[in-house]
Amino acid sequence: MWNLKSVLLFIASLFVVIIISMSMANADEKKTITPKEFATTIAEAPGKFGDFIKGEVEKTKKYQAEGWAEMKTKWPFTMFKGNQ
């Protein structure tokens, strides 16, 4: 089923992936967050969330208006207007 060569190749590739991921994790600079920065971020979160929701609502309304305008030009509605 498994021969020695494939097992050793798997172990070697696993070892390489672990070494690479460890070196990438160590390369990141560790940034400390002060309590003041943390409090500011928490305080700004509701406003950012509200702005995000407002933006998504506006994008959805625009998308639906464009879709409805395009759909009104399609076959069933033009048939009732006499435009075929």
pLDDT digits (tens, 9 = 90+) for 3-56: 888 888 888 888 888 777 766 655 456 677 788 888 888 888 888 888 999 999
The pLDDT of residue 58 = 96
pLDDT value, residue 84: 47
> Is 83 a residue whose pLDDT tops 60?
no
Kindly report the pTM of this predicted structure: 0.47
Q: How far is residue 74's CA from residue 3's CA, in Å, rounded to a whole number?
A: 63
Integer Cα distance of 72 and 66 in angstroms: 10
